[in-house]
Structure 1
Amino acid sequence: MTREIVIAPSILAADFARLGEEIASIDLAGADWIHCDVMDGHFVPNISFGADVIKAIRPVTKKIFDVHLMIAPVDLYLEAFAKAGADVITVHAEAGPHLDRSLQAIRGLGKKAGVSLCPSTPESAIEYVLDRLDLVLVMTVNPGFGGQSFLASQLEKIARIRSMIGDRPIRLEVDGGVTRDNAGAVAAAGADTLVAGSAVFRGKSSADYAANIAAIRIAAEGGRVPELQDGSTQRVGVGERVLVR
C-alpha cells in the first residue's frame, strides 16, 4: 500500500527565541506534521524541552504534533505529553523494559503510538508489537543532536521494516540527516514520513522554508517505486533488489 509522503520538520532546528513564529512559518510553508524532539540529558546526551513547551506552542497550529520522546524512563511522562497536545507519541524500544506496556499506555490515552529504533538496534525489537503500532521511526543518526550526517547503513533496515509492516496501516518514519539529496533513497527504501530539521530551517523566511520542504518532497516522491500489478513494490536495497510484498 502506497501512502502519501509526509514531511515533518523538526522544531529542534528552529530559532527557540521565536519558536511560535517559526512553527507558524513552517505551517504556512507546507509542513504536514510538526516533529517535536524531546531529550532528557540521560537517555541521550542533550536536553531540549518538555511537555510545558509543547502545551505552550499547541495553539499556534492545527497540524499533527509528532512527539518523539528520547527519554528514560518514559512511562511516567506519557500522560503529561498527551495532555500537552501530542497527537503521535513515539517511545524508544531501548528506553525501558516493557515496550508493549508503554504502547498500550499511549493508546489508552487516546493517542497514536510509535516506536523508535536507534541505528544499532535491529528491527527484530519490534516484531512482537507491530499490531500495537501506528508508526515506526528509524533513526538515521545516533539520537541526541541535530545537524548530524545521515547513516546510509540504515537504508537496509528501512527496507526490512517496510517488509515487516506489510499491509498494516503503520507509517514508516525516518529521522536524522534527511535532506533533498537523500530523500529519494529514503523513500525508495520504503519510508513515507520524513523528519528534517536543518534542511528545512535553512533561510530566514516562510518562503525559504517552503522551498526547502518542497525540494525534500519532490525528491522523496521521485524516489518512490510504483506498485506492480500484483500490489507489490520493488525497492532498491544497498547492493541488491528487495521485493516487498
Structure 2
Amino acid sequence: MAFWRELGERVVGGPSILSADFAHLAKDVERTKAGGAEVVHFDVMDNHFVPNLTVGPAVAAALVRATDLPVDAHLQVERPESLVPAFAEAGVASITLQPETALHLHRTLTLIKDSGCEAGVALTPATPPESLRWVAHLLDYVLVMSVEPGFGGQRFIPESVEKVRRVRELYGLPVQADGGITPVTAPRMVRAGAQVLVAGSAVFDGGDPERDMRKLIEAGRSGR
C-alpha cells in the first residue's frame, strides 16, 4: 500500500492510537475513519528510548486485519532494525524511525524499503532537519514531532512550525505532524507545509472520535 507516494497535495488526518481505548482499538479506529481519517499512527514504545511501554507487531497485525486504513508504525525504540521484519510481516504500510536510535540509519531505511514498506524518519524537537541530508533519497516522508516522544497529551512546541517549513524547503517530502495537534494548531502546521495531521488526545478525549476527527481535518484544511 503506497499511502505516502499517492498522497499528492492533499491534507489528511489520522488518529494516534496512543490515546485510544486499547480494549476497543479497532472500533475506535473505525470511528475516526467515519470522521475522515485516512491513516492510523501506531506508536511503538519500548521503555528504553522513551519511558513509556506500548504495543508491538502482534497488535499491529490484528489492527491491520481489522481496518482497511494504512497503518504507519512509529518505532520509538532502541535497535529499531530488529523490529522492522516483524512489523513488515504484520502488514503495516509504512515504518517511521527515530534517527537517534538506528545504529546504521541508511541500512535500516533500506531494510524497510526492501521489506515492501514506505520509510520515514521522525524529528524530535531538538533534531535538525539538516541531519537527513544523506538519507533523504530513501525517505517517503518526514515526521515532525511537535512534542517530545513518549507520551500523549503534551503541550504543542511552537518552534515545530518553522521546522515543518524547513523540511519542505530542504527535501520537498510530505510532512506528518504529530504532538499537540488540535483544531487550533493544525492550521498553523498546514500553512507551514504539513499534510498529514496526527492527533490522539484531541480525537479520543472528547468522547466522540468521529466528530473530533472531522473537526481536526476541517481546521487543518482551513490553513490552506
- Which aligned pairs between 1:172-187 and structure 2 lie closer than 5 A? 172-187=175-190
- Residue 134 of structure 1 corresponds to 140
Q: 1:186, CA displacement in angstroms?
A: 0.4
- SS of 2:209's equivalent in the other structure is helix
User: Is the 1:113–1:135 Cα contact (8 Å) retained in structure 2?
Assistant: yes
Q: 1:29, CA displacement in angstroms?
A: 2.6
Question: Which has the larger displacement, 146-155 or 208-217?
Answer: 208-217
- Residue 61 of structure 1 corresponds to 67
Cα deviations across residues 59-86 of structure 1 (Å, max 9, x unaligned)?
1111110111101111011000011121
Cα deviations across residues 198-222 of structure 1 (Å, max 9, x unaligned)?
1111333xxx222212221122111
Moved over 6 A (4+): none
Number of equivalent positions: 218
Larger radius of gyration: 1
1:215 aligns with 2:215: yes
Distance 1:218 1:3 in 2: 15
1:165 aligns with 2:168: no
Q: 1:55, CA displacement in angstroms?
A: 1.1
- SS of 1:199's equivalent in the other structure is helix
User: Is the 1:23–1:60 Cα contact (8 Å) retained in structure 2?
Assistant: no
Q: 1:127, CA displacement in angstroms?
A: 1.0
1:95 aligns with 2:101: yes
Gaps of 5+ in 2: 1-6
The one-letter code of the counterpart of 2:140 is D
- Residue 25 of structure 2 corresponds to 19
User: Is the 2:99–2:105 Cα contact (8 Å) retained in structure 1?
Assistant: yes
- Residue 189 of structure 1 corresponds to 192
- Residue 78 of structure 2 corresponds to 72
- Residue 229 of structure 1 corresponds to none
1:121 aligns with 2:127: yes
Gaps of 5+ in 1: 225-245
Distance 2:195 2:63 in 1: 26
In 2 relative to 1, CA 218–26 (structure 1 residues): closer, same or farther, beyond 3 Å? closer
- Residue 204 of structure 2 corresponds to 201
The TM-score with structure 2 as length reference comes to 0.93
Distance 2:8 2:119 in 1: 20
User: Is the 1:94–1:117 Cα contact (8 Å) retained in structure 2?
Assistant: no
Distance 2:24 2:219 in 1: 29
Q: 1:2, CA displacement in angstroms?
A: 6.6
The one-letter code of the counterpart of 1:182 is T
User: Is the 1:93–1:115 Cα contact (8 Å) retained in structure 2?
Assistant: yes
Distance 2:177 2:220 in 1: 12
Q: Relative contact order (alpha carbons < 8 A, sep ≥ 6): 1 or 2 greater?
A: 2
User: Is the 1:173–1:192 Cα contact (8 Å) retained in structure 2?
Assistant: yes
- Residue 54 of structure 2 corresponds to 48
